[in-house]
């Protein structure tokens, strides 16, 4: 009698164990999963703004319309906080200044040389990204005027 | 009597377990798969090639537009700007979307469907190191990368991530 009780007790315990395993499976379904999206840094916001404006600029340059000043917002590439601030070393600031200088040269170009000067501006974006973040390069390359 | 009571309790517990296991089968047919869309929001999950069959599907072609389904292995931990998909036990595929969109940083292990172009590429050492850094690898691990890697790559125009 005692043995039978022991066996049935084990059966009961085993059935509970099976039940617990099922609960664990259910908990793996990620029903409450919510996407954790990247929150853009100040520098990313500035660069996205520059990209959007440069799409319009590409169209203007193609039509022979040359900008006459460097947008003030663009100078924020020297002060905005990056995703990884420690990455912004002396080379970054040197290249950022080269970009601004190249844009300044573009503002003085005539319609005959505007495309060449504009493409140099785009090249300076890509040159910097080759050193710091290569991901956006294919997107930036779309700014080139053939 | 004690015998009977214990037998009844055990039987009822097992019965309850069986009932719980059957419930998902009944709801599977009715369940609506909920996806998060990134990039092209008009795509569907129809006719996707399993990631494990992609190499066979390429059939010697250098690049091919295709829709594939699989599980995300790794995702960029800085911005979600790339992910990787295991094709088999030894090969994985690098997936980018050229910053046209970003994926959630916590989508590793989630099932997905994506469309775009699969192509063979060689990733230079500098980019491999950058990717390793994005994936959160240690400096020691990054320094072991010394050779360019020929790989199957994917440029996605849209990704659907299964939410549940």
| Closest CB from B17, B105, B107 relative to A22 | B17
Q: Is the pLDDT of residue A34 over 50?
A: yes
What is the sign, positive or negative, of the torsion defined by CA atoms of A133, A136, A138, A143? negative
Q: Residue ranges of the domains in chain B?
A: 1-31, 35-162
Cα separation, B13 vs B35, in Å, equals 36
pTM for this structure? Answer: 0.73
pLDDT over threshold 70, residue A110: yes
Query: Which of B28-42, B116-130, B132-146 has the weakest average pLDDT?
Result: B28-42
In a domain, A14, yes or no: no
Contacts of B105 in chain A (CB under 8 A): 36-38
Token pair for A61: 């340059």
Residue-by-residue DSSP string for A84-103: SGGG--HHHHHHHHHHHHHH
Using the Cβ of B105 and the Cβ atoms of chain A, whether some distance falls under 8 Å is answered with yes
What pLDDT is attached to residue B30?
58
**CB distance A29–B79 less than 8 Å?**
no
pLDDT tens-digit series, residues B16-49: 444 444 444 554 455 678 899 999 999 999 999 9
**Nearby residues of B82 by Cβ (< 8 Å), 6 or more positions away:** A135, B75, B76, B94, B95, B96, B97, B131, B134
The CA distances from residue A140 to A129, A132, B33, B120, B158, in Å, are 9, 14, 36, 22, 19
Give the model's pLDDT for residue B131.
Answer: 84
User: What average pLDDT score do residues A33-38 get?
Assistant: 94
A63 in any annotated domain? yes
**How much is the pLDDT for B12?**
47
pLDDT in tens, B61-115: 999 999 999 999 999 998 999 999 999 999 899 999 999 999 999 999 999 999 9
Average pLDDT over residues A79-100: 94
CA terminus-to-terminus distance, chain B: 47
Report, as an integer, the average pLDDT of A35-64: 96
Confidence of residue B4 (pLDDT cuts 50, 70, 90): low
Whether A8 is in a domain gets the answer no
Better-predicted residue by pLDDT, B25 or A67: A67
User: Would you say residue A7 lies in a domain?
Assistant: no
Chain B: give the shortest CA distance to residue A19, in Å.
Answer: 6
A50 is in which domain, residue-wise?
Answer: 42-141
pLDDT in tens, A120-137: 999 999 999 998 888 899
- Chain B partners within 8 Å of A83 (Cβ): 78-79
Number of domains forming the structure of chain A? 1
Q: Please give the pLDDT value at position B163.
A: 87
- Domain assignment present for A65: yes
User: Does A100 fall in a domain?
Assistant: yes
Does the beta-carbon distance from B14 to A136 stay under 8 Å? Answer: no
State whether A31 and B3 contact (CB < 8 Å): no
| Candidates B17, B105, B163; nearest CB to A36 | B105
- Is there a contact between B106 and A12 if contact means CB atoms under 8 Å apart? no
Write the DSSP string, chain B.
Answer: -HHHHHHHHHHHHHHHHHHHHHHHHHHHTTPPPPEEEEE-TT--STTPEEGGGHHHHHTT-SEEEEEEEEEEEEE-SSS--EEEEE-SSS-EEEEE-TTSS---TT-TT-EEEEEEEEEEEEE-HHHHHHHHHHTT--HHHHHT--S-EEEEEEEEEEEEEE--
Question: Residue A83 and residue B104: Cβ atoms within 8 Å?
Answer: no
Q: Which CATH number fits domain B35-162: 1.10.287, 2.40.50, 3.40.50, 2.40.30?
A: 2.40.50
Cβ distance A84 to B127 less than 8 Å, yes or no, reads: no
User: Residue A22: its pLDDT value, please?
Assistant: 32
B154, B93 Cβ separation under 8 angstroms: yes
Q: How confident is the model at residue A29 (pLDDT cuts 50, 70, 90)?
A: low
Answer yes or no: is pLDDT of A99 > 90: yes
Q: Give the bridge partners for B36, in sequence order.
A: B161
């Amino acid at each position: 009698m005692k043995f039978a009780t022991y066996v049935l007790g084990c059966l009961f315990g085993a059935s509970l164990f099976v039940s617990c395993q099922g609960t664990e499976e259910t908990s793996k379904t990620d029903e409450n999963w919510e996407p954790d999206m990247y929150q853009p840094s100040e520098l990313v916001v500035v660069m996205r703004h520059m990209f959007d404006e440069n799409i319009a600029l590409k169209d203007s340059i193609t039509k022979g319309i040359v900008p006459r000043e460097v947008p003030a917002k663009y100078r924020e590439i020297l002060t905005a906080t990056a995703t990884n601030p420690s990455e912004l070393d002396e080379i970054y600031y040197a290249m950022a200044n080269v970009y601004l200088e190249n844009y300044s040269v573009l503002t003085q170009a005539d319609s005959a040389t505007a495309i060449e000067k504009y493409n140099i501006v785009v090249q300076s974006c890509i040159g910097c990204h080759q050193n710091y973040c290569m991901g956006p390069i294919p997107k930036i390359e779309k700014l080139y005027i053939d | 009597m004690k015998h009977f009571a214990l037998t009844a309790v055990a039987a009822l517990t097992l019965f309850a377990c069986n009932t719980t296991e059957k419930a998902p089968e009944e709801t599977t047919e009715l369940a609506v798969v909920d996806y998060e869309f990134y990039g092209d929001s008009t795509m569907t999950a129809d006719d996707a090639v399993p990631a494990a069959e992609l190499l066979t599907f390429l059939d010697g072609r250098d690049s091919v537009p295709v829709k594939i389904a699989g599980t995300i292995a790794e995702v960029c931990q800085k911005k979600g700007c790339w992910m990787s998909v295991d094709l088999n036990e030894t090969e994985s595929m690098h997936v980018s979307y050229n910053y046209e969109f970003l994926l959630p940083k916590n989508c590793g292990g989630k099932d997905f469907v994506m469309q775009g172009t699969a192509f063979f590429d060689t990733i230079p050492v500098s980019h491999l190191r950058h990717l390793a850094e994005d994936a959160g690898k240690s400096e020691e691990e990054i320094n072991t990368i010394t050779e360019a890697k020929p790989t199957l790559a994917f440029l996605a125009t849209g990704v659907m991530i299964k939410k549940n």
